[in-house]
Amino acid sequence: MPKILVKKSNPLKGSVKIDGAKNAVLPIIAATLLANGKSTLRGVPNLRDVHVISDLLRHVGAEVEYKDNTLTVDASNITTCEAPYELVRKMRASFLVMGPLLARFKHTKISMPGGCAIGTRPIDLHLKGFKYLGATVEMDHGFVEATTKKLTGAKLYLDFPSVGATENIMMAAALAEGTTIIENAAEEPEIVDLANFLNEMGANIKGAGTNTIKIQGVEELKGAEHNVIPDRIEAATYMVAAAMTKGDIVIENVIMEHLKPVVAKLKEAGCEIIEMENDSVRVIGPEVLKPIDIKTLPHPGFPTDVQAQFMAMLTIANGSGVVTETVFENRFMHVAEFNRMGANIKIEGKSAVVNGVSKLHGAKVNATDLRAGAALILCGLMAEGETQIGEIYHIQRGYVDIDKKITALGGNIKIVED
Ligand SMILES: CC(=O)N[C@H]1[C@@H](OP(=O)(O)OP(=O)(O)OC[C@H]2O[C@@H](n3ccc(=O)[nH]c3=O)[C@H](O)[C@@H]2O)O[C@H](CO)[C@@H](O)[C@@H]1O
Ligand SMILES: C=C(OP(=O)(O)O)C(=O)O
């Protein structure tokens, strides 16, 4: 199994280009199944997750090609509406094919995705939405089967603004008869990107990016062309890299509007953030990091997908900060790994108290999920000696060429075969 080796490095300096957003492109790839035709997606990151969902689409009969960050999907000849465990278990976003298949073919049977290292991650809200639209949903032998004669628009309220449920319901409702209103919908930028793609396919969706989304169903959708938004989580990770290493990094291909909570917290920690032309931002890390408190929330609150990276930063801040996780019930697996590197973190319920230390030291650690893995790399850049990170396939799910990008910024990192 390959590992990542990181050594204490000089301040990271230079520029880094952000790839397309994993969490935008995965639902958009699922949405291509709604059209009896060909879609072309540009700015598609070369990530493990993209290849996994592409394989799933091929399994149901779509023709999928990927070259030079452009993905084409021809979903004209779908041969099955079933997705087996082997394909769904690799990635939770696979479950997002359910809405499109149900809407277009009136029947689908998908393996239940199961939990993962950050929580149990139920799918009840997705299923509640399909039922409101008129589907019969049954669970049997680890599969969810949904059937309908006709989907009909409905008004529904999500108990929690789930990103995946909002996306799945929005895709199903795009082909339902009549109007669907999703209240307490997720407001993440990735929802807006999906709605834009669906509208380019011929859907009629308004309000994406607010907590009420209105979908006027249409009879059919056609293939479309789309440029994927930049990955705000990857951008935030490099911003924290500048903050932690006293670095000076220009991060290219960003949408500042998407980074508001991250920018506010980095400024509070003492970073200088300079918005530049051409969708770039320069981040200069302070001599001494101030401790801050963060609390994860649905957008526009502080993103849970940047919680681990900020906790990494707090391990070397000048004082104590509190990190509170409210989105997932079990997203502190990285705490034990940080503590192996000399950090001083105590978990108290939904919060972690991070007492900054003057020095971290390299150790053998494991990436418990993709963001935890990226956060361990950040710690490794500041730790005395060498850090060896295992289970790096998690990191490869969500970060394009992280080793090459950090090397280009002057960091000491390499991937080795064990
Ligand atoms: C591929 C993708 O886009 N992944 C992102 C997406 O995941 P995902 O779409 O899975 O996250 P959700 O917003 O659905 O989950 C948020 C919370 O809602 C709960 N929940 C969700 C669905 C449901 O039916 N019932 C339920 O209780 C979950 O267990 C979790 O505690 O949004 C998360 C929250 O911003 C991010 O961390 C993930 O990176
Ligand atoms: C948790 C994440 O992704 P996923 O929902 O694909 O597991 C993430 O991107 O941090």
pLDDT tens-digit series, residues 127-183: 999 999 999 999 999 999 999 999 999 999 999 999 999 999 999 999 999 999 999
Residue 240: the pLDDT is: 98
Residues 6+ apart with CB under 8 A from 21: 45, 189, 190, 193, 228, 229, 230, 231, 232, 233, 234
Is residue 398 classed as helix, strand or coil in its secondary structure? helix
For residue 401, how far is its CA from the centre of ligand 2 (angstroms)?
18
Mean pLDDT of 62-73: 98
pLDDT of residue 175: 98
Does the beta carbon of 126 sit less than 6 angstroms from any atom of ligand 1? yes
Q: Is the pLDDT of residue 115 over 80?
A: no
DSSP run (H or E) holding 263: helix 260-268
**Cβ–Cβ under 8 Å, residues 49 and 396:** no
> What burial class does residue 355 get, using C-beta atoms within 10 Å of its C-beta: 0-12 exposed, 13-18 middle, 19+ buried?
middle
Mutate to test the pocket of ligand 1, among 327, 331, 370, 394 (most ligand atoms within 8 A of CB): 327
Question: Both tokens of residue 356?
Answer: 């900054």
The catalytic residue positions are: 116
Ligand nearest to the CA of 118: 2
Question: Is ligand 1 within 6 A of the CB of residue 165?
Answer: yes
Indicate if ligand 2 lies below 6 Å from the C-beta of 305. yes
Q: Tokens for 190?
A: 């990735």
Are the CB atoms for 228 and 205 separated by under 8 Å?
A: no
Q: What is the pLDDT of residue 414?
A: 98
Cα separation, 399 vs 236, in Å, equals 12
d(Cα 32, Cα 201) in Å, to the nearest integer?
9
CB atoms within 10 A of CB 317: 23
d(CA 277, CA 360): 36
Task: Domains for the chain: give ranges and CATH numbers.
Answer: 2-19+230-417 (3.65.10.10), 22-227 (3.65.10.10)
pLDDT over 70 for what percent of the chain?
Answer: 100
Average pLDDT over residues 199-214: 98
| Binding-site residues from annotation | 22-23, 92, 121-125, 305, 327
Distance CA 375, CA 310 (A): 8
Radius of gyration of the chain (CA): 21
Binding residue ranges for phosphoenolpyruvate:
22-23
Nearest CA to ligand 2 atom 10: 305
**Residue pLDDT, tens place only, 264-292:** 999 999 999 999 999 999 999 999 999 99
Tokens of 346: 């105590």
Identify the pLDDT of residue 90.
87
